[in-house]
Amino acid sequence: MRKTIIELLRNFNFARASAENAFCRPLACKRQDLLRNLWSFARGLMLVAATFALVIVTIAVIFVIAPQMRANRAEAYLDSGLAHFRRGDFDNAIVDWEAALRIDPVNAPVFLRLAAVWLAEIAEAYLDNGIAHFHRGDFDLAIADLTQVIRIVPDSADAFFQRGIAHFYRGDFDNAIADWEAVLRIDLDYAPARLNIETARQSRGW
């Protein structure tokens, strides 16, 4: 008897569950379909957002971060070249400045202008020092500084002229004449150089 009651209850529960499932299934399916569609839409939005973020990051790297990194590296080479230059190490200065131009060719005009300004300033300082040494009678030091000017600015007529004077006062008439002839090759109308050549030739004996 007990088994029969248990069996009846089990059959009743099964029938009730079957009826509830049969009644609720269409609504549950719609809910599941809606949730599935929402999840698919959300995943699509997340994919679009991730793709957009990746595009933004890539653009930033290409057009902002990478150029800034190149500019920083180029600037470091530019500063290093200036340090070499101030020590009189012109060869390594040129190497570093060429490296700066290779790394960041977009800013090449800027680097060239900066280098030109530094070169002009340093050449002017050497020229002033050379003239000051000359007036103190330190002809060798004057020649050394004026030679640096000529290395920096090979067409500096003033540097050649002043160095020629220093050579002349040292009694080195040949080098004095050579420097003043270089002045005339740069500036044919540099009259003092022409006069000094004649004076040096007379002092040399011919």
CB environment 95-127: b (16+ within 10 A), e (fewer): ebbebbbebbeebeeebeebbeebbeebbeebb
| Nearest-angstrom CA–CA distance, 175 and 165 | 10
Q: Are 166 and 142 in contact (CB under 8 A)?
A: yes
Residue 115 lies in a domain: yes
State the CATH number of the domain containing residue 147: 1.25.40.10
Per DSSP, the three-state class of 88 is coil
| Nearest-angstrom CA–CA distance, 162 and 180 | 9
Residue 186 lies in a domain: yes
Domain count, the chain: 1
Q: Check residue 8 and give its pLDDT.
A: 42
pTM above 0.85, yes or no: no
Find the domain containing 130 and state its range.
Answer: 108-206
Residue 204 lies in a domain: yes
Q: Check residue 1 and give its pLDDT.
A: 54
**66-86 and 90-103 helices, crossing angle to 10°:** 170
Residue 65 lies in a domain: no
Residue 146 lies in a domain: yes
Residue 75 lies in a domain: no
Residue 100 lies in a domain: no
Could you list the pLDDT tens digit for every one of the 206 residues in the chain? 544 544 544 544 444 444 445 444 555 556 666 666 666 766 766 777 667 666 665 665 555 556 667 778 888 888 888 788 777 777 787 788 788 878 877 776 766 767 777 778 888 889 999 999 999 999 999 999 999 999 888 999 999 999 999 999 999 999 999 999 999 999 999 999 999 999 999 987 75
